[in-house]
């Protein structure tokens, strides 16, 4: 008899009258709001305008959802297009199935479109939202708990997740809660990026690259623990290879970017350069950029004059 374990919900959807409230979708929505909220604070601290992060997210989030679903459907096509499967299920995103690699790639494309329309450098925007994305992933992983999916090998540890569903070939039992491991890892990634960004003043996309590299490091060992069906190459799951490749690319970007463009952007949003200081005092503890921009503007505008007190 197990004395301690993480129970699974009996169902992943609740009904508010005729309206279904799905746990998976709810976690994704909460994660998006947290990412935008934190990204907005960091953007203001760097001298940007309030609301810019949300405006660009209107482009990035839909693109990210589409990309995440496409990656999942393409890499797990047998779940939707093999014999006995209904291809219409490929569109049922609320039932789970988002690939983070596709979500980040397509989300970056959407963000690039939004940034281009606002005249904003994409790397600066990416640095501002990086920790928020990690927190969004931490929250979103709990959607897998609601769906009783993406767990690891069997275990008798007291924090094992108790799987009760028999749908899609699941075998009831006690398993490693890999969704929980990844959620905790993503929280650690967010803390690491915020700390490193303050300590080393990362710019030109390096904070985002640090998020990508540190997430991939954790995803590699967590992916190795999972037991759900997946394509294998040379004994490793496809997502293990993807994590390894993306990790190397992120590290290379950090090294080359630091050599080519050291430091941080002086101006992240040209239209807000004149009023960056007001918002810069309300960030996540990074007021230096706003203050420096304001001081620079004051020197340029008031050169040769005497300030009255």
Instruction: Note whether 290 and 277 are within 8 A (CB).
Output: yes
Q: Determine the 3-state secondary structure of 2 from DSSP.
A: coil
Instruction: Note whether 145 and 9 are within 8 A (CB).
Output: yes
CB atoms within 10 A of CB 246: 20
pLDDT digits (tens, 9 = 90+) for 241-296: 999 999 999 999 999 999 999 999 999 998 876 554 444 444 444 444 444 444 44
Going by pLDDT thresholds of 50, 70 and 90, the confidence category of residue 297 is very low
**Mean pLDDT lowest for which of 4-13, 137-146, 167-176, 211-220?**
4-13
Using CA atoms, how far apart are residues 297 and 300, in angstroms rounded to an integer? Answer: 5
Average confidence (pLDDT) over 220-237:
89
**Mean pLDDT lowest for which of 51-55, 112-116, 246-250, 272-276?**
272-276
Average confidence (pLDDT) over 214-222:
96
Using CA atoms, how far apart are residues 305 and 309, in angstroms rounded to an integer? Answer: 13
Using CA atoms, how far apart are residues 127 and 269, in angstroms rounded to an integer? Answer: 13
pTM of the model as a whole: 0.83
Using CA atoms, how far apart are residues 204 and 257, in angstroms rounded to an integer? Answer: 7
Q: How far out from the chain centre does Cα 274 lie?
A: 31
Report in angstroms the alpha-carbon separations of 76 from 48, 161, 184: 40, 24, 26
Instruction: Note whether 132 and 37 are within 8 A (CB).
Output: yes
From 51, 130, 144, select the one nearest 97 (Cα to Cα).
Answer: 144
What pLDDT is stored for residue 163 in this prediction? 94
Using CA atoms, how far apart are residues 83 and 71, in angstroms rounded to an integer? Answer: 21
What pLDDT is stored for residue 251 in this prediction? 98
What pLDDT is stored for residue 232 in this prediction? 87
What pLDDT is stored for residue 294 in this prediction? 43
Phi, psi of 267 (to 5 degrees): -130, 125
As a whole number, the mean pLDDT across the chain is: 86
**Mean pLDDT lowest for which of 3-12, 28-37, 58-67, 270-279?**
270-279
Both tokens of 217, joined, read 């490091």
What pLDDT is stored for residue 123 in this prediction? 97
Average confidence (pLDDT) over 41-68:
96
What pLDDT is stored for residue 274 in this prediction? 54
Q: Determine the 3-state secondary structure of 16 from DSSP.
A: strand
Share of residues in the chain with pLDDT > 90 (%): 62
From 78, 45, 67, 79, select the one nearest 198 (Cα to Cα).
Answer: 45
pLDDT digits (tens, 9 = 90+) for 172-209: 999 999 999 999 999 999 999 999 999 999 999 999 99
- β-bridge partners, 161: 6, 175
Residue 301 above 70 pLDDT?
Answer: no
Instruction: Note whether 41 and 194 are within 8 A (CB).
Output: no
What pLDDT is stored for residue 290 in this prediction? 45
């Amino acid at each position: 008899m197990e004395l301690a374990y993480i129970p699974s919900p009996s169902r992943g959807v609740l009904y508010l009258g005729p309206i279904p409230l799905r746990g998976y979708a709810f976690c994704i929505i909460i994660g998006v709001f947290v990412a935008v909220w934190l990204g907005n604070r960091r953007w203001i601290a760097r001298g940007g305008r309030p609301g810019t992060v949300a405006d660009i997210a209107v482009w990035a989030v839909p693109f990210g959802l589409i990309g995440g679903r496409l990656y999942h459907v393409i890499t797990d096509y047998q779940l939707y297009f093999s014999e006995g499967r209904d291809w219409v299920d490929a569109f049922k995103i609320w039932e789970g199935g988002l690939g983070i690699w596709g979500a980040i790639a397509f989300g970056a494309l959407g963000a690039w479109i939004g940034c281009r329309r606002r005249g904003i450098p994409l790397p600066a925007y990416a640095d501002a939202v990086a920790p928020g994305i990690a927190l969004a992933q931490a929250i979103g992983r709990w959607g897998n708990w609601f769906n009783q999916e993406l767990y690891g090998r069997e275990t008798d540890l007291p924090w094992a997740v108790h799987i009760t569903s028999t749908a899609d070939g699941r075998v009831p039992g006690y398993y490693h809660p890999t969704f929980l491991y990844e959620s905790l890892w993503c929280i650690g990634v967010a803390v690491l990026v915020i700390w490193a960004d303050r300590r080393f003043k990362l710019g030109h996309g390096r904070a985002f690259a640090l998020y990508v590299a540190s997430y991939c490091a954790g995803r590699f060992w967590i992916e190795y623990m999972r037991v759900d069906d997946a394509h294998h190459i040379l004994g490793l799951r496809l997502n293990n290879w993807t994590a390894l490749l993306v990790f190397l690319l992120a590290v290379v970007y950090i090294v080359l970017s630091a050599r080519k463009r050291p430091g941080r952007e002086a101006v992240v949003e040209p239209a807000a350069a004149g009023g960056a200081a007001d918002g810069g005092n309300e960030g996540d503890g990074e007021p230096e950029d706003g203050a420096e921009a304001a001081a620079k503007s004051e020197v340029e505008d008031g050169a040769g004059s005497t300030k009255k007190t």
